[in-house]
A = this chain, B = another copy of it.
């Protein structure tokens, strides 16, 4: 199964969480939510500008590693893998490795 995101949406594979320590203990969440990282698997064509109706292409592309707001996305399970569909506006930054 392959997802083709609509408008300015993207599909992201969340990075392995590092909240699990070497010994396997789960570190409890702190009160302050932290953003998440992931890899971009698919991107939409872009949303239309409100006034002109022209399509604004996305600034992220397939393969980019991104930091995104934890609150923006929608979880979806594809072939047993948990992915996220995000608006590209929920992407805070691209990460250069």
Chain A contacts to B: CB under 8 angstroms: 1-7, 9, 11, 32, 34-35, 42, 44-45, 48-54, 56, 59-60, 67, 69, 74-77, 85, 88-89, 91-97
Contact = CB atoms under 8 A, between A and B. Distances in A.
Contacts of A93: 3-6, 9, 11, 42, 44, 76, 85
A59 B6 contact: yes
A94 B3 contact: yes
Number of copies: 7
Nearest to A6: B91
Contacts of A50: 49-51
A3 B52 contact: no
B51 A4 contact: no
